[in-house]
Amino acid sequence: MGEAGLGDPAQTCWSLGGVEKTVLDVKMGRQSSWWEVDPAACPALTSENPGLIPGQEDISRPQGPPSWLYFPQLALRRRLGQLSCMSKPALKLRSWPLTVLYYLLPLGALRPLSRVGWRPVSRVALYKSVPTRLLSRAWGRLNQVELPHWLRRPVYSLYIWTFGVNMKEAAVEDLHHYRNLSEFFRRKLKPQARPVCGLHSVISPSDGKILNFGQVKNCEVEQVKGVTYSLESFLGPRIPAEDLPFPPATSCGSFRSQLVTREGNELYHCVIYLAPGDYHCFHSPTDWTVSHRRHFPGSLMSVNPGMARWIKELFCHNERVVLTGDWKHGFFSLTAVGATNVGSIRIYFDRDLHTNSPRYSKGSYNDFSFVTHMNKEGITMRKGEHLGEFNLGSTIVLIFEAPKDFNFKLKAGQKIRFGEALGSL
């Protein structure tokens, strides 16, 4: 392209305002910066002020935000305009205010943190800042709102389709029968839908997915593979502190000795995750006697397997109800762990239990004994008997004492239904 194709040199130079705006050196045929322009290529530049064009204002300095605020796309647009011999400079787009950086910089900081990985404490602090208890209480009240008759079928059908609910197992299959979401979540099953296995000593207390199971080692329990939590933090002291004639156990061995009551026995655990589409009631996993209830107010973080891999001791942070007692081989406990939108945990024989209260003290717990002067044995539960319920999905954790030859009939990750065998001697 010849020099004539570039138009008037004065007009070309006039269109090159701003700092470090590239121009085309007509004689050398190369790109150069503003301060590298050959004066012979632009005779309109005066010797008194080489940066001024006669009759024009000083444009050697930018009349707006500094150059580092311009995006590369805008700089490219200016260069294309210069090469096309525009008679006027390219339009200056309105720059973003600096206040936008207060919003963009924190978001940009999340990307490198996601690559490096956050410390577990930071993860818990970040997630616990979400008002999950408030959201769960709001969700609970929403569940109690009675739906119009014409709206029940489309709402419940959407839930059934989303979570794969099998309504053929429900005692009442007619969707119009359930007045609100709470009744639909707590629907009963047909008696023949969940036969109870009579050959094995321990059965599954609920529908769900097996997250982990096995023998308790070093007083640590796996919530998922590779992520553990402290047994003492999860269950709390073995005996209420006011009833202890000696200080509580401070080591793993002494705490384990309080749970294992018979020589030659071991502690075992099993974690069952209930998805939103599962049957939401839980039953007695064996024949045993419930003597004590301990309620831990706490957070209501999600307990799905993905979150359980992310946060260590997740079950110790969440609200939970621990039922402890004895079975034929010694100590036995069942713990219902709350989760987001599952703030209400109900135990059928415990009317004094109130979960997801608006206020609670961090790290506190409430004890209640079922052993009284009128009932010195506690609450007797039979295998398969209704025990409690909660909404949406949550987790059941079994921790019990058994002889060393106890064997689980499970595989990690398998789906299981209430009444099926967990293990036996």
Query: Terminal CA-to-CA distance of the chain, rounded, Å?
Result: 93
pLDDT value of residue 163? 87
Among the listed residues 269, 278, 280, 283, the single catalytic one is 283
Q: Does 58 participate in catalysis according to the annotation?
A: no
Residue type, 243: D
Among the listed residues 284, 302, 333, 394, the single catalytic one is 394
pLDDT digits (tens, 9 = 90+) for 253-286: 678 788 888 888 999 999 998 888 888 899 999 9
Strands 379-381 and 281-283 turn out to be unpaired
Neighbours of 248 (CB within 10 A): 15
CB 336 within 8 A of CB 282: yes
Using CA atoms, how far apart are residues 259 and 400, in angstroms rounded to an integer? Answer: 9
Among the listed residues 136, 206, 207, 292, the single catalytic one is 207
pLDDT at 390 exceeding the cut of 70: yes
Q: Does 326 participate in catalysis according to the annotation?
A: no
pLDDT value of residue 90? 45
More confident residue, 304 or 296: 296
Q: Residue 364: which residues within 8 A CB-CB, separation 6 or more?
A: 296, 297
Report residue 67 as tokens. 């150059």
What DSSP letter does each residue of 129-163 carry, written as one string?
A: TS-HHHHHHHHHHHHTSPPPHHHHHHHHHHHHHHH
pLDDT confidence tier of residue 202, bands split at 50, 70 and 90: very high
More confident residue, 248 or 236: 236
Q: Does 278 participate in catalysis according to the annotation?
A: no
More confident residue, 52 or 252: 252
pLDDT value of residue 329? 94
pLDDT confidence tier of residue 128, bands split at 50, 70 and 90: low
pLDDT digits (tens, 9 = 90+) for 323-345: 999 999 999 999 998 877 655 78
Ramachandran area for residue 359 (φ above 0: left; ψ -120 to 50: alpha; else beta): beta
Average pLDDT over residues 70-94: 46
